[in-house]
Amino acid sequence: MDHFDTAQEILDTMLGHLGFAAKVDLDRESGTLNVTCAESKLLIGHNGSRLDEIQYLLNRVLQDRIPEAPKVKVDIESFIASRDYGLIEDAESAAAGVIASGTPAKLEPMNSYQRRLVHHHFADHPEIKTWSPGDSARLKRMTISSKNAPQTSPEG
């Protein structure tokens, strides 16, 4: 049994103890456990907050059982996939505005996963660069600017 199988078993047990009849499918390629459940809105929570908590708890239990196991993602009814798609669409729209105007744009506050997703999306973009403030806040506002613009000090 590898770490994916263990994670799948842990999540299935967690959801069962919480009283949810859910089906947990594993996508090994993406490292994601996909949950299907009649009460999906309850599991997702407001803006995915409960889903984030479930994923955090699952990974804590998994790391306790298998310390070297990489983190596993959890998605419920494709909520994360559609949220990520929307996030990239918003960032692309902001980037188009930056290219047209030359003026940097700040995005809505994001957690580290979301910022990594946007940074990675624009990593090889010929005209756009991204940066986040270096403080310790959990949610940060990423800035999108033109690669041709002069470098300025990031603001929180």
If one looks up domain 82-146 in CATH, what number appears? 3.30.1370.50
Tell me whether residue 28 is exposed, middle or buried, using C-beta atoms within 10 angstroms of its C-beta: 0 to 12, 13 to 18, 19 or more: exposed
For residue 107, the SS3 value is strand
Task: Please say if the pLDDT value at position 110 is more than 80.
Answer: yes
Split at pLDDT 50, 70, 90, the class of 151 is: low
Split at pLDDT 50, 70, 90, the class of 147 is: confident
User: Is residue 15 within 8 Å of 29, Cβ to Cβ?
Assistant: no
pTM over 0.85, yes/no: no
For residue 130, the SS3 value is strand
- CA of residue 131 relative to chain centroid, distance: 17
Residue from 73, 68, 71, 100 nearest 84 by CA: 73
Tell me whether residue 66 is exposed, middle or buried, using C-beta atoms within 10 angstroms of its C-beta: 0 to 12, 13 to 18, 19 or more: middle
How many whole angstroms separate alpha carbon 147 and alpha carbon 135? 23
41-86, pLDDT tens digit by residue? 999 999 899 999 999 999 999 999 999 999 999 999 999 989 999 9
Ranges of each domain in the chain: 3-77, 82-146
DSSP code of 48?
A: G
Percent of the chain whose predicted confidence (pLDDT) is above 70: 95
Buried b (16+ CB within 10 A) or exposed e, 76-85: bbebbeebbe
34, HSE (Cβ side, Cα atoms, 13 Å): 10
Which CATH class, in words, describes the domain spanning 3-77? alpha beta
Q: What is the average pLDDT score of the chain?
A: 91
Split at pLDDT 50, 70, 90, the class of 156 is: very low
User: Same CATH fold, 82-146 and 3-77?
Assistant: no
User: Is residue 122 within 8 Å of 132, Cβ to Cβ?
Assistant: no
Helices 79-101 and 112-122: crossing angle in degrees, nearest 10, is: 50
